Structure 1
Amino acid sequence: MSEKGAGRAGWRVILGVYLALTALVVAWPNAWTVNRTVVRVWQIGVTNGWYDPSTFSPEAFATLLNVILFIPLVILAAASFPRVPVWVWVLVAFVGSCLIEGGQLLGGVRDATYLDVISNTGGALIGALLVVVGRHLRHVG
């Protein structure tokens, strides 16, 4: 196996682990547990003075986490499959997010929101932008 092939294989393993962990979080059947965990992490940030609770609510924090969740997903996918155009990964993230929210809606256990689809897709776009900039800088330098 070439050095590039070995590198891609490593990225694919990391992508698989990340996807498994992400699936675990988004498919967790007890929405209350997920919500309480988000609020606890938010409270740690408030306690440490990372942000002002009067301007940054637990709901805003949850939205930020939805954005952050999809940034590494696109970066890892692009590193694992470099011949696939990066816009395809944004589309995959959008469709995946719609499927997740649809499953939550049909499952009736968790709340499905369009804001989650928007924030997940926004995270995918940020990840794609980072990939494009990284590839450009690699070719320039």
Structure 2
Amino acid sequence: MRRSPTHVVLALAYLAALAAIAFWPTPVDQGVDVLNSWPVRWLESSFGMPRPTGYDVVQTAANVVLFVPLGWLAVALTRLSWWQVTAAGFVLSSGIEVGQALLRPERFATVSDVVANTSGALLGAVAATVALRRRVPARA
């Protein structure tokens, strides 16, 4: 894919937002009624999805969704394969969790966050790989 200035700006904005979310002094959802938030209500009303029974389900899903753009952008803007991007997502997520453990004692560094984040990077990378292969005609 051609790296346009727009794509680069979007990638930089995403990374800045990710850093802000990861290293905000307190959890970004502190004080929010996550189980009654608009995304949960929208999924329930639009798709008939049952309301989650616990915060952990919503928090894990949010961590997956948070890293999908990373996987997509990394595949779309580089020559890395889906598995290399997934490995990079794992390394980045692990670094974030270690950074939170060392620098932000009020945050919770967990292995489950690394698994969820890596899963999101994998989903984004695979989706971008499939989408970009469909757009590029096969060479004879």
TM-score by length of 2: 0.80
Residue in structure 2 matching 1:121, options 106, 118, 125: 118
Counterpart in the other structure of 2:96 = 100
SS in 1 for 2:107: coil
SS in 1 for 2:108: coil
CA contact (8 A) 1:28 1:34 kept: no
1:44 aligns with 2:37: yes
Overall identity of the aligned pairs, in %: 32
1:56-75 → structure 2 map (5 Å cutoff): 56-75=53-72
Counting helix residues as a fraction of each chain, which structure ranks higher? 1
Residue in structure 1 matching 2:15, options 19, 25, 29: 19
CA contact (8 A) 2:74 2:125 kept: no
Write out per-residue CA displacement over residues 1-58 of structure 1, whole angstroms, 9 at most, x where no aligned residue: xxx35x2x32111000011011111110113x53333x34x313465671444x4422
- Equivalents in 1 of 2:29, 2:17: separation in Å? 14
SS in 1 for 2:58: helix
- Equivalents in 2 of 1:30, 1:131: separation in Å? 32
CA contact (8 A) 1:72 1:127 kept: yes
- Equivalents in 2 of 1:120, 1:52: separation in Å? 23
How many residue pairs match? The answer is: 132
- Say which is worse superposed, 105-114 or 63-72, in terms of deviation: 105-114
TM-aligned CA distance change 1:129 to 1:48, over 3 Å: closer
SS in 2 for 1:34: coil
1:34 aligns with 2:29: yes
- Equivalents in 2 of 1:94, 1:124: separation in Å? 8
CA contact (8 A) 1:12 1:76 kept: no
SS in 1 for 2:106: coil
Q: Tell me how far 1:112 sits from its aligned partner.
A: 0.8
Q: Tell me how far 1:86 sits from its aligned partner.
A: 3.0
Counterpart in the other structure of 1:84 = 80
What letter is aligned with 1:28? W
SS in 2 for 1:127: helix
Name structure 1 gaps, 5 residues minimum.
none
